Every structure is written in structure tokens, then in C-alpha cells.
Amino acid sequence: MKFLSDGAYLLAAQLVARLLAFSLTFVVARTLGLEQLAMLGLAQSLVGFATVAGDAGLGTSAVQRIARGEDSHQVVHDTARAQVWISIVASLAMVPIIATQTDVLLALSLCVTPMVIAATATYVLQARLQARKIAVGQIAGNLLVASVGILLAVIGLPLGVVALVYPAGLFLTMIIVNAQAKVSIRDIVGLPHFAHFVRDGRSYASLLFYTLVVHAYSACLLILSQNLASGRHFEGTGLASRMLILMVIPSVILGSMMLPRFAAVTPSAKRLSLLTGGAFLAGALLATANALLAPVYVPLLFGSEAVPYIGAVQLVGAQVPFSFACTILTSAALAERRFVSTGLAYALALLSQITFALLFSQFSTSVFVLAISVSECIFLVVLASQRLLLSRGTS
């Protein structure tokens, strides 16, 4: 019952938090235009590489270590300091790339985001299954993003100035989450201790490989949309990607809840199959609802300029059931520390996404966004095949 209660609470809180943040998305689309919205999405996707590099898979490892009974303060010392220093280096490396692809002011506004995320000890509360405490911080941060961001956008300030609200909101979330986790500034600031990572260097290298491939997979379609077919898919893909992020919130929550449970108790093959099938059906229901409601909510939220992209928003939802099912299998694989094999599965899905994006780029944006749905289907097949081979190998 606690699992269902925490899941329902965290889902509701995440929906509220994301809707607050997405309210700024709607205002940006209406005041600055869909191209600026896509530009913001691209900049956030690129800065995400620095965020992922800063995490280096250490957050996932921290959840597992705390869930297995290690002292949380020692885990924070090992994790947070290393993440902060790595994210600083990664951010400095990404700023010129983001500035070239988007805008200098936008790049500078978002470049501190990875450091703030690295300093947020969410993994402590996640490992303790304290979903409500995580939700409080996320809602507060996104409330700041929505209220201040909307005000700045309505005033008519440039996108780079409006984007400052994102690191500001994350900073507020950091303060609240760290207070709830009883993590002080001294736990985070200081020279990192690498002794633990040296002892398990191969595992962390595998985690870094995995997380970088995952983010490349997530950001790939939007990056390609700007560079293929003279960029004519950029606006539509930016809009569809924004809505896809909203639709997969339950999948993200499911993964964050299943990982510590799978790390503590290995699920049986039957239970894993039932969870995967149930997740797929839940995702299919959500995708169907999106397809039916998109003609209503897209023009209502984004204005008449978004009407040509209703089909793209409808079809991008085809990824959702596959995403839900993959979340169960990836959580089980990560709990078993199978980072390399799961990363290779993502790499295969990434290559398939690039291939289909190249093939579909000559057609409409609605067809172009299907590349991510096809690649997610391939990813699910590869994960299921890996699980089947694993079960046969241990039987």
C-alpha cells in the first residue's frame, strides 16, 4: 500500500510541478513564438549533456548504496562533491557549443543548471522512499519558475533573460531537498574524495557511458530537426518534444520508485513480465487520450501558430507505451548493475533513431517525429531479448 500511496502522491506532485513549469512554455510560445520555444528546448537538451556528465551515473549508484544500508552522509560526501566538480568542467565545455547552436545569453543563463542539480541530494530521499519530501521541493521550485518566468516573458524580455528562472527554480528545490535530507553545504562543497570511485572505477565508467548514451538518445531528434531538411521540422519537433516530456512523467516516476525496490529485492521473471505488460497498457491509454485531445489542447495552449503541428503531437505519443514498458526493464537492469549491456541497447536504439530520422526527414513533421517511436520499439525488443537470454543463462 505504501508503494501505491507514494506513487500516487509523487505522480500528482510531479504533474503539478511540471504543469507549473509548462505554463511558462505556453507563454513563451504565445509571446516569443514557436521558434524561440524550440530554441529553448534545444539549449536545454544541450546543457543536459553537461548535467548528465556531472551526474556520471553517481546518482543511480548512490540510490543503490543507501538502499542497501550504507551511511547516507558518507555516500553524499562521495557523490555530491565529485558531481559538482565534474559538472563545472562539463558546463564550461558546453557553453561555446550551446552559444553556437542557439544564443550566447541563453547559453550563459542555463550553464549553471548542471552545478545546481549536482548539489541536490535527491538520491538520499529517493533511496529512503520519501516521495513526499521530493515532491515538496519540486513543486516549490517549479512554482518559482512559472510565476517569475511568466512575468518576464509577458514584459517582453529576451529568451536568455527569461531562461534565468530555470536555474533559480532548481536552486530553491536544492535548498528544500537538502534540508529534508539533512545535507549541509559542508557535505557538498569541498575537494572530492575519489577513493570509492577508484575501487569501483569500471562500474562508474560504465554508468557514465550509460547516462551519456541515454541523454544523447533523448536529445537526438530535436538536434537533428534543426540540421536536417533545412530545419523545417524544428518548430514542430520542438513542440512535440515538449508534450512528450509531459506525457512520460509517470514513466520517470515509475523508474525512480522501482530502482530502489529492485536493488533491495530482485523481482521474479513473472512479476517483471506483469509489471512490464501493465506499464505498456497504461502508456497505451495515455497515448490514446493524447491523440484524441491534441486537436483541442494544442491550439488552446500554444495558439493558432501550432495548428499545423497537431499531427506531430499526436504521433509522437506513440512512443509512450514503449517508454513505460522500457522503464520497468531498465530499472531491473540498473538494479543488477548491468550498465554496459543496457547502454549498448540504448546505443542501438540511438543509431536506429538517427537512421529513421534521416529516412523520414523528407516527409512531413508528423512522420519525422515517428523516428523516436520506432527506435523506442526497437529498444524494448532489445531489452526483452537481453532479459530472456539472462534468464536462460541462469536457469
Contact (CB, 8 A) for 112 and 69? no
Dump pLDDT digits (tens) for 326-343.
999 998 888 887 878 888
> Is residue 179's pLDDT more than 70?
yes
SS (H, E, C) the chain: CHHHHHHHHHHHHHHHHHHHHHHHHHHHHHHCCHHHHHHHHHHHHHHHHHHHHHHCCHHHHHHHHHHCCCCHHHHHHHHHHHHHHHHHHHHHHHHHHHHHHCCHHHHHHHCCHHHHHHCCCHHHHHHCCCHHHHHHHHHHHHHHHHHHHHHHHHHCCCHHHHCCHHHHHHHHHHHHHHHHCCCCHHHHCCCCCCHHHHHCHHHHHHHHHHHHHHHHHHHHHHHHHHHCHHHCCHHHHHHHHHHHHHHCHHHHHHHHHHHHHHHHCCCCHHHHHHHHHHHHHHHHHHHHHHHHHHHHHHHHHHCHHHHHHHHHHHHHCCHHHHHHHHHHHHHHHHHCCCHHHHHHHHHHHHHHHHHHHHHHCCCCHHHHCHHHHHHHHHHHHHHHHHHHHHHHHHC
Q: Which pLDDT score, from 0 to 100, does residue 316 have? A: 93
Alpha-carbon distance 374 to 184, whole Å? 45
Count the Cβ atoms, other than its own, within 10 Å of residue 338. Answer: 19
Assign 3 a pLDDT band (cuts: 50, 70, 90).
very low
Closest alpha carbon to 101 in 241, 246, 219, 213: 219
CA angle 124, 127, 128 (to 5 degrees): 85
Assign 9 a pLDDT band (cuts: 50, 70, 90).
low
Instruction: For residues 28-52, give the mean pLDDT.
Output: 86
Dump pLDDT digits (tens) for 45-84.
888 888 877 776 677 677 777 777 776 677 777 777 778 8
Burial of 324 (0-12, 13-18, 19+ CB in 10 A): buried
> Is residue 22's pLDDT more than 70?
yes
pTM: 0.79
Q: Which pLDDT score, from 0 to 100, does residue 52 have? A: 79
> Is residue 214's pLDDT more than 50?
yes
Assign 215 a pLDDT band (cuts: 50, 70, 90).
confident
Instruction: For residues 170-184, give the mean pLDDT.
Output: 84
Torsion from C-alpha of 168, 11, 208, 368, nearest 10 degrees = -90
Mean pLDDT of the chain: 83
Closest alpha carbon to 252 in 200, 192, 323: 323
SS (H, E, C) 148-207: HHHHHHHHCCCHHHHCCHHHHHHHHHHHHHHHHCCCCHHHHCCCCCCHHHHHCHHHHHHH
Alpha-carbon distance 12 to 43, whole Å? 28
In this structure, of 29-43, 204-218, 304-318, the range with the lowest mean pLDDT score is: 204-218
Contact (CB, 8 A) for 360 and 370? yes
